[in-house]
Amino acid sequence: MPDSYRQGRCGMASPTVNDMTSLLEHPRTTRPEHPDQPGDRNTFSFETTTRLPDSADGKGRGGARYGRTGVIHTPHGDIKTPAFVPVATQAAMKAVLPEQMRELGAQCLLSNAFHLFERPGEDVLDEAGGLGRFMNWDGPTFTDSGGFQVLSLGAGFKKTLAMDVKGMKSDDVIAKGKERLAFVDEDGVTFKSPLNGSEHRFSAEISMGIQHKIGADIMFAFDELTTLMNTRGYQERSVERTFRWARRCVAEHQRLTQERIGKPYQALYGVVQGANYEDLRRHAAQQIASLDFDGVGIGGAIEKRVIGDTCAWICDEMPESRPRHVLGIAAVDDIFACVENGGDTFDCVAPARTGRNGAIYTRDGRYNIKRAAFKHDFGPLEEGCDCYACTHYSRAYIDHLLRAHELNGFTLATIHNERFFVKLLDDIRAAIDGGYFDEFRDESLARFYANGSRG
């Protein structure tokens, strides 16, 4: 093709797939060391640095406290744990560039396999060289399995982790005003696309195929996420179904790893379900521990009062060599409870989503920037915060941007909130290594909730 056909309207050459030299390099993706071999599993591992001492009130067996610091090694870099994993749902943080996420301290990002399957399609990401290269992010990446859509499309609920549960139980529960768009059977899930109503099918094998093509460093097995309103009988059946799907995910993952020559190794985490039942959580953890997973995801709806206990029940039954990811958690007290009882990494959409609506997280609690009191407040979102938003812009300006629906407001609020959670986990990690976790936990929670703050 003549160069003249590549000239854009400004006279600049448009990059092709083979000459995108301005993008960040991903040598293990674009030029693997052994292009004629499967991905090397040894490029993924976990090592513990410091573990919390056991105590009389530890929730694990014998007073065990499973909280720890460590390092997850992946083909695209290390993750120092505990760590917060911001959610770039569609291979993008809404209104925030990957470079800005790196600057605020994010070590890794998580994207949604279901949404990327819907658009642009997993083949596009595979052709681009994988998720990281597609969105110009050079660090580790995660993808979830699409299992959450079993709940969100089937029952119509939003995130329900750490929820309070009261009232009747039902196996046909559905959110008010919602249509059931997903139907579960033994083989998988049939669902209608929320984009255009077209019908699709997800199964263990399909989820693995999609996630392998998306190319994240860490993937999750396809599971069924239930609500706390489902009956005990349904929870039991769902745990067994998730285990059967998990076995199929492992088998398909191993097959695809051998088949996809020249690709970096992708780690696979199994997901432990069981709602807020101790015996089901322990049973599910034993099942997942029996399979050849690289790590474990602590999933499902969890009643807030037992969220720390739930992590401890699972850790009691799991090998300590496997990293543990807590799915969908971003309440400050929940993070402390889960870290203390074994959580290594955490993801949640809440910091960005609530920030776009004006909710700002600080060490002194959460507040709404769109309150009238801030219209003439020219101080930062949080005194002492080192994020770009706080060091360059005022409350009054960000209040104005959000009220005017200017996208810059989304950007600045998101940068601050994501920095808050990234730094919170960084500080917790330092506290564990420094031997002052208990004091830091108590002081942080007392300060954050002093005024009855939510979240």
Is 100 labelled as part of a ligand binding site? no
Distance of alpha carbon 453 from alpha carbon 446, whole angstroms: 11
Phi first, then psi, for residue 47 (nearest 5°) are: -130, 140
Flag whether 148 is marked binding: yes
Give the span between the Cα atoms of 336 and 161, in whole angstroms: 15
The span from the CA of 12 to the CA of 411, in Å, is 29
User: Per the annotation, does 123 bind a ligand?
Assistant: no
Half-sphere exposure of 143 (CA within 13 A, CB side): 31
10 in a known ligand binding site = no
416 carries a ligand binding annotation: yes
What does the alpha-carbon distance between residue 281 and residue 287 come to, in Å, rounded to a whole number?
Answer: 10
Closest CA to 213 of 151, 120, 288, 322: 120
273 annotated to bind ligand: yes
Whether residue 294 is annotated as binding a ligand: the answer is: no
Q: How far apart are CA 157 and CA 175, in angstroms?
A: 6
Residue keyed to tokens 């009238």: 372
**Residue 390 assigned to a binding site:** yes
Supply the residues annotated as catalytic.
144, 347
Distance between CA 278 and CA 147 in Å, rounded?
22
| Number of CB atoms found within 10 A of residue 23's CB | 15
Please report where in the chains the tokens 């050849």 appear, as a residue.
Answer: 292
* 311 is known to lie in a ligand binding site: no
> Strand, coil or helix: what is 137?
coil
Binding residue per annotation — 283? no
Rounded-to-integer distance, Cα 166 and Cα 348, Å: 24
Could you tell me how many residues make up the chain? 455
Position 125: which residue type?
L
Q: In what order do the strands lie in the sheet with 77-81?
A: 45-51, 68-74, 77-81
Q: Which residues are annotated as a binding site?
A: 144-148, 223, 273, 300, 385, 387, 390, 416
Which residues does the annotation place in the binding site for Zn(2+)?
Answer: 385, 387, 390, 416
Binding-site residues for substrate, in ranges, read: 144-148, 223, 273, 300
